[in-house]
Amino acid sequence: MTENYNIVIIGGGPAGLSAAVEASKYTDKILVVDENPTPGGQLSKQTHKFFGSKNHYASTRGVNICSTLINSIDKNKVKYMGQTSAVGFYKPDNIVLETEEKLISVKAHKFIFATGAMENMVSFENNDLPGIYGAGAVQTLMNLYGVKPADKVLMIGAGNIGLIVSYQLMQAGVKIAGVVEAAPGIGGYHVHAAKLRRMQVPIYTSHTILGAYGKESVEKAVICEVGSDWQPVSGTEKEINVDTICLAVGLTPSVELLHQAGCGIKYAKELCGYVPLHDKYMETTVPGIFVAGDASGIEEASAAMLEGRMAGLKAAYDIEKFNRSEFINEVEHIEFELKSLRTGPFGEKAASGKKKIFLEER
């Protein structure tokens, strides 16, 4: 038996939840599916306060933004299915979901793929040893389930994720042996780096990790300097005793399902990988399939929430054809907010990436 929905949203993180909240203002029969038991995605692990303006939930902790979003969902209009994987899209309007050890087929008028991203790996000796985690995994253990993930950590990557997760580890009583960054400077906001430096955490810029060693799991890491040619400088090796190595070396958009559905995909370095082409409403080259959040290029949760709202708004408008001027007002408002996020030294990179994958309106 095939279930019918107006909108199916794949992914219950900041983008997917925002899409559901926005769309449910205008329409009903919305389904949100996520592989995790509870919705929220990465947002539910963020204990730090967000920046930006009040409209972007500034000075609110991610975890609280998450519960605000979840609480504002009308359960009569939106159904949430956890522990459910979307395994395939069949043209024109059919998606197959794996849930409770069964495959079910679901039809919808519109689809929003808010499938997020996955963490990058970095090559070094024994990089598969237990005790080496993606930064997101460590956040899951400590911030969602209250498990102390380590005693002493070496963080690889001084972008925002590396800096923020290091600080969160310290909040959980974990020692940070240092933060290693191959670039000559810190990639993330200096306010996050300053929090670590105030606690005497060394940040090794122009350094990389050479290897991890230990019998059953990590006992020690070896790092060294990198030259201006990005190659390790021999003779500068340094041993650091840690039981955990945390990788925060960037994210790659998860576009498998969009690719399989036939959406046009293009590489954009600024967006950290292959991403689906989309118009200003977040609609892809396949009519009726929208993308939002990190799956459309790596940015921050604030941008993901706005993109989710845009996709949810347009999907609902296409179904319900509600008041056009109300729709246009709302679109312009979201566009303005997105534009303001994408200005300044950190936002410009995303803005130039988005230009590469921009689809003119049909």
Residues lying near another protein in the complex (CB under 8 A) are found at 35-37, 47, 61, 63, 83, 85, 118-119, 128-134, 136-137, 140-149, 171-173, 216-217
CB of 22 to another protein, least distance (A): 25
State the Cα–Cα distance between residues 310 and 330, nearest whole angstrom: 9
- Residue 271 is classified by DSSP as G
CB of 66 to another protein, least distance (A): 12
CB of 148 to another protein, least distance (A): 4
Helix (H) or strand (E) holding 133: strand 132-134
Residues in the chain: 362
CB of 72 to another protein, least distance (A): 22
Q: Phi then psi for 112, rounded to 5 degrees?
A: -120, 115
Give the residue with the Cβ less far from another protein, 91 or 148.
148
Cβ atoms of 211 and 181 closer than 8 Å = no
Tokens read off for 213? 């060693």
Tokens read off for 191? 């306010």
Cα distances (angstroms) measured from residue 282 to each of 15, 48, 248, 279, 289: 11, 28, 28, 5, 9
CB of 41 to another protein, least distance (A): 9
Cβ-proximal residues to 182 (8 Å cutoff; 6+ apart), any chain: 206, 207, 208, 226, 230
Beta bridge partners of 111: 8, 289
Give the residue with the Cβ less far from another protein, 15 or 357.
15
Give the residue with the Cβ less far from another protein, 173 or 262.
173
Tokens read off for 272? 């950290």
CB of 321 to another protein, least distance (A): 37
CB of 145 to another protein, least distance (A): 4
Give the residue with the Cβ less far from another protein, 277 or 298.
298
Helix (H) or strand (E) holding 310: helix 301-320
Give the residue with the Cβ less far from another protein, 100 or 360.
100
In one-letter notation, the amino acid at residue 259 is: H
Give the residue with the Cβ less far from another protein, 81 or 233.
81
Give the residue with the Cβ less far from another protein, 62 or 276.
62
